[in-house]
Amino acid sequence: MSTPEAWLRGPVAGVPVQLQPVAHALVQALEDVERAAAPFSPAELRARPGGAASVAFHLRHLAGSLDRLLTYARGEQLSAEQRAFLAAEEDESDADAVSLLAAARRAVERAMEQLRTTPGEILDEPREVGRARLPSSVRGLLYHAGEHTARHAGQVVTTARVVRAG
């Protein structure tokens, strides 16, 4: 019998009820990318079928964007280190599945910890995003973090299938 998707397994321990959809999206995304990319060679990780972004890019972006969105949700701006990571997300020269998946796992673990420690009463507090300081809220950023992570996990799964078929 296969394991049900994360959202059908019940609440994620310690995560407030309002943030369960985010937690479920993050858990499912991590499981999906680990299944799809774990056996990939560096060449497969860097493959760009039809000009699409590579599995390596999506894994690196998944981890980096999650970190950035959580930074904004805390009411902080990006550090120089985070801006440097963003600038290097497309660098695939050192792509290996073990380290890329470990980085994704660490990013999701940090996100889960932040979800567990985010008080429900601050979810609608305003937050600013990026250098343009675009308006959002803690809730908006956290929900987008789950959605954005799931989107890139889907791209990892799809691109991995195309690369394997080729």
Summarised one tens digit per residue, pLDDT across range 25-63 is: 999 999 999 999 988 999 999 999 999 999 999 999 999
Task: Determine phi and psi for 129, rounding to 5 degrees.
Answer: -120, 125
Residue 89 has pLDDT above 90, yes or no: no
pLDDT tens, position by position, 109-156: 999 999 999 999 999 999 999 999 999 999 999 999 999 999 999 999
Q: How far is CA 29 from CA 48, 75, 123, 147, 149, in A?
A: 21, 25, 23, 9, 7
Mapped onto helix, strand or coil, the DSSP state of residue 26 is helix
Query: Mean pLDDT throughout 72-81?
Result: 96
**Backbone conformation region of residue 14, classed left if phi is above 0, alpha if psi is from -120 to 50, else beta:** left
Query: Mean pLDDT throughout 16-30?
Result: 98
Residue 91 has pLDDT above 90, yes or no: no
Confidence of residue 93 (pLDDT cuts 50, 70, 90): confident
**What pLDDT, on the 0 to 100 scale, is given for residue 106?**
98
